[in-house]
Amino acid sequence: MMKMYTSEKMVKLETDMTPRTAGNFNFYISNLQSEVYFEMGDRCINAKSLLGILSLALREDNIINIKIENIESVENAKRDLKKVRTFFEYEIGTK
């Protein structure tokens, strides 16, 4: 079994994630080498899946855990987490 390097960050959304924003996010992260997951409550979805993101129905004040898994290094996982957080900060707003 291969080792996966993980980096995580909890965020609180300042606005709803609309279908358009979800589509933009999906496009933005499609080239990341890492696996990207959103965890909310007892649910965990693949954030590269537009249907997965929409199924969470992310709304203002929801708290989600962004989890990045990378097979190469923890540095790559952290780099990709920073890219995801940047999108959230500029497009959705996080606390």
pLDDT, tens digit, for every residue of 28-62? 999 999 999 999 999 999 999 999 999 999 999 99
Rounded CA-CA distance 55/75 in Å is 30
- What tokens appear for 10 in the block? 């909890």
**The residue count for the chain:** 95
Q: Are 22 and 53 in contact (CB under 8 A)?
A: yes
Rounded CA-CA distance 31/26 in Å is 10
Mean pLDDT, residues 7-35: 92
Mean pLDDT, residues 77-85: 93
